[in-house]
Amino acid sequence: MSKARVPTLNHSIPVEKICYDDRGLVPAIVQDYLDGTVLMMAWMNRESLQKTLDTGETWFWSRSRQELWHKGETSGHLQKVRSLRYDCDSDALLVGVEQIGDIACHTGERSCFHQVEGKIFAPPADTLSELFATICDRRDNPQSESYTCKLIEGGDNKILKKIGEEAAEVVMACKDDDSDAIASEVADLMYHTLVALAYHQVDVRSVYQKLQDRKK
Ligand SMILES: N=c1c2ncn([C@@H]3O[C@H](COP(=O)(O)OP(=O)(O)OP(=O)(O)O)[C@@H](O)[C@H]3O)c2ncn1[C@@H]1O[C@H](COP(=O)(O)O)[C@@H](O)[C@H]1O
């Protein structure tokens, strides 16, 4: 994975706008910045939020130890902050992080990941990642009625032919300036592109990573 650019977080959130509860705390949900996997929930106070903004790594307030807590300081599983958002009444934070070292959640035991028949299965939180997980499951556990399986059985010849066709259909829909058709054809193209990724064992996360690396 290429070296992430450190974002200028201080401008991404107006600290003075955040509403803390009567203990001076605000809940912070931490998600993987690429596919939205929910990693953990912890509490921040004004000081830990400011340290998070200043350092680009997550700092929380430990209610049990009553002290600031730099996530990953002892384990090395740091969370590099890539985005910071707040809800409509500014009393909850959503922190998008790049996990450094290993799974950087609360327990470090991957408890945020489902175990399905002994395999670790991360529940991704965005539509494309979820569809990609289903496509990979069809690839690995073929089903007779599955369109995805038929494509994969046909290999590159079948998959790439469909990508060509769907791309042409996107072009035609755009030429017709037909909003519904454009959305529908782009959905078809995205689906078939995800099948190509799965067939070639390329994780959709690496596509997300490329897009993140190109952010200006
Ligand atoms: N998201 C999609 C999806 N998008 C598009 N398509 C299929 O892609 C094809 C689009 O091709 P065309 O527009 O050319 O239509 P067509 O004439 O039916 O296609 P051909 O038979 O000529 O290949 C259609 O058959 C669509 O059903 C999809 N097929 C499956 N999925 C999802 O993939 C997952 C696994 O599905 P199965 O593999 O069918 O179990 C499920 O979550 C599905 O919802």
- Ligand 1 atom nearest to 149, measured from its CA: 38
User: Which of 191, 192, 194, 204 for a ligand 1 pocket mutation test, highest count of atoms within 8 Å of Cβ?
Assistant: 191
113 CA → ligand 1 middle, Å? 28
Whole-angstrom distance, CA of residue 196 vs CA of residue 1? 21
67 DSSP β-pair partners: 62
Q: Are residues 9 and 81 in contact, defined by beta-carbon separation less than 8 angstroms? A: yes
Q: Which residues contact 81 (CB under 8 A, 6 or more apart)?
A: 7, 9, 52, 56, 57, 58, 95, 96, 97
Question: Which residue's CA is the closest to the ligand 1 atom numbered 15?
Answer: 188
User: Which of 140, 147, 150 for a ligand 1 pocket mutation test, highest count of atoms within 8 Å of Cβ?
Assistant: 147
Whole-angstrom distance, CA of residue 5 vs CA of residue 82? 9
Q: Is 0.90 surpassed by the pTM of this model?
A: no
Look up the ipTM and state it.
Answer: 0.91
Per-residue pLDDT reduced to its tens digit, 25-75: 999 999 988 888 888 899 999 999 999 999 999 999 999 999 999 998 887
